[in-house]
Structure 1
Amino acid sequence: MGALTAIASTNEEKTFSYLFKMMNALKHRGHEAYGIAAKNLIEIHKTLSDFSSYKVDTVIGYNFTRILSCDIPQPLSSDDVKLAFEGRIYSVKGDFNLFEILETFRRKGIEGADFLLKNMDGAYSFVLMIQDLLVAGRDPIGLIPLYYGEKPGLCAVATEKKALWTIGIDHVKSFPPGFIGFFQQGKCSFRPVKILTKPEKKLTFSIEESVDRLKTLLFDAVASRIRNLKKAGLAFSGGLDSSIIAFLLKKCCVDVHLITVGSIRSKEINFAANLAEELSLPIHIRRFKASEVEEILPRVIWLIEELSPLSVSISIPFYWIAETTANLKLKVLFTGQGGDELFGGYRKYLDVFRSLGVNGVEETLFHDVKMSYRMNFERDEKVCAFHGIEMRLPFADWNLINYALRIPASHKISSPEDPLRKIVLRKVAKSLGLPASVYERKKKAVQYSAGVVKILKKIAKKKGRTISNFVEGHWERIRKKPTN
């Protein structure tokens, strides 16, 4: 695990210096080894200073940190093919073997990218070099961050925006999930391979039949993400989504450690602790003070590369969840992210129901699921990567998503006044045998339940600013910092 970087340029003199800047900007993601590949070159060293500079127009870089024992430094090479792969494949039984992916590309060439996206379920992005052509791709859900940008005579790709900012590319775009991109001589183009589409027809099954099918899909999603994994952390709020994942991880015999975060005055922590006791699972509680929120704010903004107050307020408690996971010497963190978008958990869906009806709800749910890579996954993965943690999201499973999107909105939200929402998922929790306190409890957003929004408002008010102005005040100063 680590970070991808790649450049296709018309200026051979500057390509390597640009790549070094990009890799240096991503040292927080990978610093155990560094690899570089060009047309007739592949080198892996312990430090960036060990590399020589070469005149090339196309180059791949990789920052490496070992998460699991099977992880190896990259890029890899076979004949004329060079490959850097970031992420994990879940649909392959047994150990994840990167050399099998490389062999697929060696045999199939560019068509190997299509094969990978169409057939391999997982969280991943990759950059492939065949002769002077760069080919990049991203899994169809967009679970691993990948960005690209252009300036005259140069195209570049990187796992985080800051790597592109550091070489003067200000207009950075998120690489579209399920696409492959072609980069050569400073030009780029894209082609869709496997993308999420809105179902044409809704299921006609009863809600009870949907419950049974969802139980199977959720179990399969968890099971495929725990192969050869003995222990893991789980971001745990005591809410519906994380409680279901906790139950299934335990059922799969994973030594799961629940991790919850809240302010010193947060009452939600007590609920999570009591529920953990009911589930007979260990829980680790991280309480924070208001002063810690202000102290960590600049780092969180730098990590997530966003100035949205909502994203920042979500990421601050999640930062401490990932930090606690790392302190426990755990390498994998599960979360329940994705459940609200799939099953209508947010209160905003009631407003949509009221104004646009059930069809409007279904349109909004699909949009939110499709855009989750930009709204949620990129943000959370960056926080985990900073702490050397791999994030896994069972609710972001391809098969589960496509089934859940076909469930009628009426099986998720009963009316514009529905106080609970997520009807079918609550029935899943009940059917699994979870306590009534889980499936009968109202949702509370993490940024509010953890107490972060209240603290940020107080801090901003003391400085005579709104939260938005307070966050924006940090943004421009932080945005182009290569390291933090």
Structure 2
Amino acid sequence: MSGIAGIYKSGGRKLLGTMLSKIEHRGLSGRAMFFYGDSCSLGFAIHPDSSFFRDRRGCILVDGEVYGRNAGKISSEDLLSLFRERKNDFVKCINGEYAIAVYDAGSLMLVRDRLGVKPLYYSRCGDKIYFASEIKSLQAAAKEISSLPPGHFIGSECGLHRHWTAHYAAPLLSEPEKIMPLLRENLEKAVRKRLEGKSRVGIFLSGGIDSSIIAYLVKKNFGNVIFLSAGTRGSPDLKFSSMLAEYLKTPHFTIVYGRKDMEEILPGVIYSLESFDALLVRSSIPNFLVARLAKEKGIDTVFIGEGGDELFAGYDFLKNLKGRELQIKMTNLLLALYNTGFQRCDRIPSACGIEAKIPFFDTDFVRFALRISPALKTAANLQEKWILRKSFEGILPKEIVWRKKQKFSQGSGSYEMMEKAANTQISDKEFEKERIIDNSLTLRNKEELLYYRIFKKFFPSDSALRVIGRSIW
């Protein structure tokens, strides 16, 4: 986690300072600004897990972590050298979760990782380019805001280019007994890679299969860990997360919240999240509470179990799909995360000064997961994410391994409370009058209208609306 911002072919020290001030929460070690005459101004909210390097010719800013072909982490200095050697093709030599801005010899290039785990927005007007990690940073600088798509780069000397496409490698893996040990091995490697250099970490634990697997693997490979959970009184998440904490003999901190707590933090959640999407906002509320709890406990790095649903077909609406049709649908879900699920995983911890790690989306693990036959992930006669669950049967408590999937907002208990809050505050007449925003945007229920009203106070620009993702219901 860090924050990057910049202005190309337009002066403005004061403007860059304003842009950077909006994302200072993304850094723990202050900020830096670099100026190259009237050609380029660059700002960086500094975090220990990210890096920058500059010399007289240019500068590179990296939000996230970049790895080379040998899986070793690449320093920002080496990355700048690689760019100078390979130019645009340098992206073919790297992987990881990153957003990169590189200025060199008078030109600018912006790059986003393959799946869009790290955010990056830009605005282009003629030869001028403004860019930043979050929408709020660009509002003072640009009228038209775009999200750099995942797996793409854009440069001052070129247009928008794709550098990666998701695909299923043939032949597919279809033998469970061979797949299961490989699945555990590959996911554990992804966890270990993200533990390097850490002294203490936390786990956002819901007690579902995905976060429980990550909690187990972190605990197995790293001693100094705590579990963090949130839910309403009596919610399933608190029950199952407590079960796992006791099973793994790990310190477990919980926060029990009610409707009043949710309503109090709602404006802050929406401002941090930069969205009004109902599913995204309601699931971000418990995430925000847990992130705040992590900060109180002195944690600056957390592991999140996001990813199992998209990689292993965890959604009910996938059950009746088969073969190629299922593969295509799952790939589309994966590529849609950059402005939905990833936005929550990035913005909410970042707002509290916390770096989030998401091992399921490790490049090598994603490649492995896409090779597994869809028939082993979901089917009419199988519980969703079957092969993932089966791989940890006998390792985790069976009640957790075979726990029926619930949306995070349902498991934590926030769903019904926010629905009731919206129904209390918004009449049927108001909803019918306000639900159609324009030809391309219709709000889906009163809850979403409640969130939209708050969102517009923070983000009045119509341009901001065009980069908001919508969750699939």
TM-score band by shorter chain is 0.7 to 0.9
Q: Provide Cα deviations, 1:337-396, integer angstroms capped at 9, x if missing partner.
A: 01110001112212xx2xx54432221111111222222112221111111111101100
Are 1:34 and 2:31 counterparts? yes
| 1:4 paired residue number | 4
2:370 is the alignment partner of 1:405:
yes
Q: Distance in 2 between matches of 1:413 and 1:335?
A: 23
Partner of 2:439: none
Map 1:136-175 onto structure 2 (within 5 A): 136-151=110-125, 154-169=128-143, 171-175=144-148
Contact 1:235 1:333 in 2 (8 A): yes
Deviations 1:125-168 (A, max 9, x none): 11111122111112222221111122455321110011112223
CA distance in 1, matches of 2:218, 2:78: 33
1:430 paired residue among 373, 393, 415: 393
1:172-187 residue pairs with structure 2 within 5 A? 172-183=145-156
What root-mean-square deviation, in Å, do the aligned CA atoms of Structure 1 and Structure 2 show? 2.5
**Inter-CA distance 429–89: structure 2 relative to 1 (3 Å threshold):** same
Letter in 2 for 1:303: S
Could you say if the C-alpha distance between residues 204 and 428 of structure 1 is closer, same or farther in structure 2, counting changes exceeding 3 Å? closer
Compared CA separation, residues 371 and 287, structure 1 to 2 (3 A): same
In the other structure, the counterpart of 2:448 is 468
- The 2-side partners of 1:299 and 1:460 are apart by 17
Letter matched to residue 343 of structure 2: E
In the aligned structure 1, how far is the partner of 2:126 from the partner of 2:458? Answer: 25
Measured after TM superposition, the shift of residue 177 of structure 1 is 2.5
Cα distance in 2 for partners of 1:334, 1:270 equals 20
Query: Structure 1 residues 274, 197: CA separation in 2 closer, same or farther (over 3 Å shift)?
Result: closer
Task: From the superposition, tell whether residues 358 and 399 of structure 1 become closer, same or farther in structure 2 (CA, over 3 Å).
Answer: same
For 2:203, give the aligned amino acid.
Answer: L
For residues 94 and 291 of structure 1, the distance between their equivalents in structure 2, rounded to whole angstroms, comes to 46
What is the DSSP-based 3-state SS (H/G/I as helix, E as strand, rest coil) of the residue aligned with 2:119? coil
2:109 to 108, 116, 135: 135
The structural deviation recorded for 1:291 is 0.6
Partner residue in 1 for 2:410 = 448
Aligned-residue offset at 1:264: 2.6
Q: Secondary structure at the match of 1:330?
A: coil
**Correspondence for 2:235:** 266
d(CA) in 1 for partners of 2:81 and 2:246? 51
State the Cα deviation string for residues 243-302 of structure 1 (Å, max 9, x = none): 111111111133221111001342431222122101212211011121111111111111
Residues 67, 331 of structure 1: 8 Å contact kept: no
Q: Does 2:84 match 1:122?
A: no
Q: 2:64 aligns with which of 66, 87, 91?
A: 87
CA distance in 2, matches of 1:165, 1:244: 39
TM-score (normalised: structure 1) = 0.85
Question: Are residues 1:298 and 2:275 paired?
Answer: no
Pick closer, same or farther for the CA change 1:480–1:329 going to 2, 3 Å: farther
How many residues are matched?
Answer: 444
Q: Deviations over 1:433-452 (max 9, x none)?
A: 21111222111111111111
Contact persistence 2:130–2:141 (CA under 8 A)? no
Compute the TM-score of the two structures, normalised by the length of structure 2. Answer: 0.87
8 Å CA contact 1:78, 1:103 repeated in 2: no
Write the distance in 1 (CA, Å) between the matches of 2:242 and 2:141: 47
| 1:109 aligned partner | 84
Which deviations, in whole Å up to 9, do the C-alpha atoms of 1:55-96 show, x marking residues without a partner? x132211122x446xx66x5x322412122211235699996
Cα 1:108–1:475, aligned 2, differ >3 Å: closer, same or farther?
A: closer
Give the deviation of 1:31 after TM superposition: 7.0
The 3-state SS of whatever aligns with 1:109 is helix
SS in 2 for 1:135: strand
Contact 1:221 1:394 in 2 (8 A): yes
Q: How far does the alpha carbon of each residue in 1:390-417 deviate from its partner, in whole angstroms, 9 at most, with x for none? A: 11011001111111112111101122x6
Mapped contact 2:270–2:276 kept (Cα < 8 A): yes
Percent of aligned pairs sharing the same letter: 25
Instruction: Tell me how far apart the structure 1 counterparts of residues 83 and 416 of structure 2 sit (CA, whole Å).
Output: 54
C-alpha separation in 2, matches of 1:322 and 1:213: 32
Q: Does 1:375 align with 2:347?
A: no
Deviates more, 1:84-93 or 1:227-236: 84-93
Quick one: which amino acid aligns to residue 326 of structure 2? Answer: V
Counterpart CA distance in 1 for 2:214 and 2:369 is: 16
Contact 1:256-1:281 within 8 A present in 2 as well: yes
Amino acid at match of 2:455: W
* CA 231–242 in structure 1, closer or farther in 2 if over 3 Å, else same: same
1:183–1:110 distance in 2 versus 1, CA, 3 Å: farther
Comparing 104-113 with 124-133, greater Cα deviation is found at 104-113
CA contact (8 A) 2:322 2:374 kept: no
CA contact (8 A) 2:206 2:412 kept: no
Contact 2:69–2:93 (8 Å) recurs in 1? no
Query: In the TM superposition, what whole-angstrom CA distance separates every residue of 1:30-74 from its partner, at most 9, and x where no partner exists?
Result: 37433222326xxxxxxxxxxxxxxx132211122x446xx66x5
Aligned mates of 1:35, 1:254 — CA distance in 2 = 34
Paired residue secondary structure (2:216): helix
